Amino acid sequence: MTAEGGTTRIALNSMRVAYLGPAGSFAEAAALRYAPQAQLLPCTTISAVAQGVATGTADEGVVPIENSLEGSVTDTLDLLIHDSSLFIRQELVLPVEHCLLVRPGTRAQEVRVIYSHPQALGQCRQFLERHLPGASLVAALSTSAAAQQVHETREPAAAIGTARAAELYHLEVLARGIQDNPSNATRFVVLGHADHPPTGDDKTSLCFSFAEDSPGLLYRTLGEFARRNINLAKVESRPTKQSLGQYIFLVDLAGHKEDPVVKRALRGLQRRVSFFKVFGSYPRYRNAIQ
């Protein structure tokens, strides 16, 4: 066991890290960067990653939460809002290079169906419309699961995935870097039973909602941060899933929930809302693509 910032943490070489798999996914690459010596446990869904951590099968879990082109990963947000008591304890940002993968010998003009995760399909929309306009797009649980599907099928199909997935599933790379934007990057978060102790350069993620709507309500609530000069890195909304027109607001802010000024702002916010949940405070990732 090793100590980290006053908390006890399992040594990296004995740690078990769940990730959205199977092997060859971008989440696996994030998990390898986060804990290269850990035992990696692939899971078929984001909720399965969280369940593995919650039940003790894994010590921590790595899931995607945001892409620079397609925005937030809704499955991860809904999990954090509604279905999990886990915390965000780290974040990582990885550049994304999508490849078009086929069974060896398959030509682009033969491809009739393209498998991938919905986010990947959206990130490569322009390439697909230009080069494979007649192919059907089929959602898969992950980019690596899509590669596995192409490996197992006999139909003329392709997958959008990683070069590593091509190696793992014995596929051929027809094209590299097919994403619409060369600065494409995905933000991943590490889920655990506790968030991270303060480091002096942190972020906090949270959500809140209101029982009733009224003019200026959101403005006054976010004013709790503005008055204290706390920067908000992201503000977005998600449906509450209870009634049409009702929303949950999600915020990423600069600072740790234990910082005195942030703590006061969170107390002020909590008095104004009907639902409030902190997803976690964690070190701000400093090597992200700008």
Is the Cα dihedral 105, 107, 113, 119 positive or negative?
A: positive
Decide if 159 contacts 128 (C-beta within 8 A).
Answer: no
In angstroms, rounded to a whole number, what is the distance separating the alpha carbons of residues 140 and 143? 7
Separation in Å, CA 99 to CA 88, 179, 239: 30, 8, 33
DSSP state letter for 216: T
Q: Which residue in the list 87, 188, 208, 249 is annotated as catalytic? A: 188
Verify whether residue 186 is a known catalytic residue.
Answer: yes
Q: Which residue in the list 76, 186, 204, 221 is annotated as catalytic? A: 186
Query: What b/e readout covers 138-158, taking b as 16+ CB neighbours within 10 angstroms?
Result: eebbbbbbbbbbbbeeeebbb
- The tokens for 189 are 């978060």
Cα 277 to chain center, whole Å?
18
Contacts with 36 (C-beta within 8 Å, 6 or more apart), sequence order:
12
Verify whether residue 188 is a known catalytic residue.
Answer: yes
Contacts with 115 (C-beta within 8 Å, 6 or more apart), sequence order:
138, 139, 140, 145, 146, 149, 150, 157, 158, 159, 160
Catalogue the active-site residues: 186, 188
